[in-house]
Amino acid sequence: MDVAAVTRQNRVYWEAIAAGRLGEPVEFFRAGGCALSDDELAATGDPAGLRVLHLACSIGDECLSFAQLGAVRVVGVDISPTHLATGRAKAETLGVDVDLREGDLTALDPELTGFDLIFISGGGICWVPDLDAWSRTVAERLAAGGRVVISEHHPLWEVLTVAGPNQLTVTGDYLDPTRRGYSDSAKAPQVTLGMTDPLPPHTSFVWSLGQVVTALLGAGLIIRALREVAQPELYQGLGPAAGALPAAYLLVAERPAAS
């Protein structure tokens, strides 16, 4: 696979839908709102005093939240310049110091290193073409004792489609990560729902939990926690059984402290 070509193609896709992705309004943050969920905050811990890198940061709402919660350095990286421009405008209006920069998740700027926390949120890791290379990059950019937190849609949810009350169909391959387009529109970025014009081609990846864990371990990280989470609203139409299935997961891994 030509990873650079996949990234270029996906950048075109994200630019095509960027105009409709504005995130939370400035007033949300001025009122003390936080773009991180309670589960995500429990996984990341108190960011006060930490150096934080958010990968696939999109419009940077979580970056703004990390900064407002006291992180001493916040860097967000994304492939879409329009998304980043939206985030920079909000940061300037709020007077919040965040560094939002364009970049490839597996080819980060050399000076981006020494982070206490690397975060990647929902709809992020599915755009990583080479999971092993990405995991090595994450491990290299963490300070000793630093953590990576992955908050992501569950790969099982990614391959299942609601067919009716208490009925699911398999519309993806859990064992083959490569996904070109979406056979189930509910798995696509929400802003695309209702769009009628054809979108540029794009490639995403449904990485299984086994693949994610194995890649992180192979990069020398220690798995500290893996929590699978129900989000019944993501199985809309399934009925009560929706609460019995995982829809998201939170994984915490750590770079060993220097001996």
What CATH number did the domain enclosing 54 receive? 3.40.50.150
Query: Considering the domain boundaries, does residue 181 fall inside one?
Result: yes
pLDDT at site 14? 86
Q: Is residue 163 in some structural domain?
A: yes
Q: pTM of this prediction? A: 0.95
Give residue 5's pLDDT: 87
Q: How far apart are CA 128 and CA 191, in angstroms?
A: 20
Per-residue confidence in pLDDT tens, the chain, 259 aa: 788 888 889 999 989 888 888 999 999 999 999 999 999 999 999 999 999 999 999 999 999 999 999 999 999 999 999 999 999 999 999 999 999 999 988 889 999 999 999 999 988 999 999 999 999 999 999 999 999 999 999 999 999 999 999 999 999 999 999 998 888 888 888 787 777 678 889 999 999 999 999 999 999 999 999 999 999 999 999 999 999 999 999 999 999 987 5
Q: Containing domain of residue 122, as a range? A: 3-254
What per-residue confidence (pLDDT) applies to 38? 95
For residues 145 and 241, give the distance between their C-alpha atoms in angstroms, rounded to a whole number.
39
Q: What is the pLDDT, as a whole number, of residue 63?
A: 98
> From start to end of the chain, where are the E strands?
51-55, 73-78, 99-102, 115-120, 142-153, 160-164, 167-170, 178-180, 203-205, 222-229, 248-254
Q: How many structural domains compose the chain?
A: 1
For residues 169-204, one letter each, b for 16 or more C-beta atoms within 10 angstroms of the residue's C-beta and e for the rest, the string is eeebebeebebeebeeeebbbeeeeeeeeeeeebbb
Q: Is residue 159 part of a domain?
A: yes
At residue 99, the pLDDT reads 98
| Domain contains 259 | no
Burial class (CB in 10 A: 0-12, 13-18, 19+), 42: middle
